């Protein structure tokens, strides 16, 4: 599918899919959305410990890079697993402006390392951040009791309805440890009900700018 780099309302870039008229992030602000949904509503529940995170859709690496930056503030050691079946190409990564927009120029090498590292190998990105990128489909995830936190960042249900179903959330539930948490930008009633039907306790939280609500599900 054709992919184009565009700039969102907060100045940060994202990838646009003309065929679907869909983006990797909110048009209202990619960084703003990532910070609100995944950091404020997810990562910030944890501090001063070692945690494992599963990302559903590694894509541009924005969530893993922001998590690396925030983990230092929260005194966390992070074991991060990013799943991605259709990797972003090196020439696309070069055009993403996350490092400068996040004023993280000292960590440019870290962002690049996240993208250049081999698939299926756990790598030390820094002494407090370990990354494993797995090139696989979401329905092939069969981890059990392994993660404290899931960033569920698939394309919208309008485009990939098969990813917002009971069968996928059952895999997510199984992959989480007891009391593990899944956060997503979606607030659809059908998504909430699919999560509840596999056993999650689901909260509706205020959404990022441009979106009234989002969901947080706890095992
Ligand atoms: C909404 S984008 C978000 C990407 C990423 N979280 C980011 O911040 O850039 C969804 C991602 O899921 C990937 N994807 C879509 N369907 C998939 C599938 N069935 N299995 C694995 N990856 C998939 C896409 O290639 C894309 O990178």
Per-residue pLDDT of the chain (219 residues; tens, 9 = 90+): 899 999 999 999 999 999 999 999 999 999 999 999 999 999 999 988 999 999 999 999 999 999 999 999 999 999 999 999 999 999 999 999 999 999 999 999 999 999 999 999 999 999 999 999 999 999 999 999 999 999 999 999 999 999 999 999 999 999 999 999 999 999 999 999 999 999 999 999 999 999 999 999 999
CB 155 within 8 A of CB 26: no
Instruction: Name which residue sits closest to atom 27 of ligand 1, judged by CA.
Output: 59
For the CA of 25, the closest atom of ligand 1 is 1
Instruction: Name which residue sits closest to atom 10 of ligand 1, judged by CA.
Output: 154
Torsion sign across C-alpha atoms 109, 114, 117, 121: positive
The CA distance from 78 to 69, in Å, is 11
* 185 Cβ closer than 6 Å to some ligand 1 atom: no
Eight-class DSSP state of 208: S
> Is this model's pTM higher than 0.95 or not?
yes
* 138 Cβ closer than 6 Å to some ligand 1 atom: yes
Ligand 1 centre to CA of 134 (Å) is 12
Which of 59, 136, 159, 171 has most ligand 1 atoms within 8 Å of CB, for mutation?
A: 59
């Amino acid at each position: 599918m054709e992919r184009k780099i565009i700039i969102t309302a907060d100045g940060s870039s994202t990838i646009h899919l003309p065929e679907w008229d869909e983006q990797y992030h909110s048009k209202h602000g990619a960084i703003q959305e990532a910070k609100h949904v995944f950091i404020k509503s997810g990562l910030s529940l944890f501090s001063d410990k070692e945690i494992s995170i599963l990302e559903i859709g590694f894509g541009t690496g924005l969530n893993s890079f922001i998590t690396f930056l925030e983990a230092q503030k929260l005194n966390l050691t992070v074991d991060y697993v990013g799943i991605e079946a259709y990797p972003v190409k090196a020439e696309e990564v070069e055009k993403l402006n996350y490092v400068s927009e996040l004023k993280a120029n000292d960590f440019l090498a870290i962002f690049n390392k996240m993208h250049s590292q081999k698939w299926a190998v756990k790598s030390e990105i820094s002494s407090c951040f370990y990354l494993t990128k797995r090139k696989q489909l979401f329905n092939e995830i069969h981890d059990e009791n392994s993660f404290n936190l899931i960033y569920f960042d698939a394309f919208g249900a309008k485009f990939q309805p098969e990813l917002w179903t009971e069968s996928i959330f059952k895999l997510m539930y199984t992959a989480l440890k007891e009391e593990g948490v899944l956060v997503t930008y979606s607030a659809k009633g059908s998504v909430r009900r699919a999560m509840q039907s596999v056993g999650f306790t689901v909260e509706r939280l205020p959404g990022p700018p441009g979106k009234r609500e989002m969901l947080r599900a706890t095992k």
